[in-house]
Amino acid sequence: MNSTTGAGGPTRSVVLTGMAVTTGYGHGVDALREGIYSGVPAFKPVTRFDTDRYRVGVAAQGPADLDLDTELKTLTEEACKQAGLSPDDRAGALLVAGGGAPR
């Protein structure tokens, strides 16, 4: 990473080297790309839990049988492999994960 000084103080450059994703369109970057270009929304009525206490009742849900722990491990492995990171490199690598579930 490069470090420079800007108007607001030091800034750092970040390079995205690996990516993996699971969305309402399915698993993988190709599924996401195809879904986006299809023009068909991934958002559908939520059926896994009662949405009465939420402002919306639609979401881009993954498959019903998706095991979140396994999926997160798979996504991490895919992104690290794509980035060419060895197990030692992974210890110092930044991992950014997004998503969520009702609490």
Q: Is 84 exposed, middle or buried (0-12, 13-18, 19+ CB in 10 A)?
A: exposed
Q: What is the pTM of this model?
A: 0.65
Q: For every one of its 103 residues, what pLDDT tens digit does the chain have, with 9 covering 90 and above?
A: 445 555 667 777 777 788 888 888 988 889 999 999 999 999 999 988 899 999 999 988 877 788 888 988 899 899 889 889 888 888 887 777 776 554 4
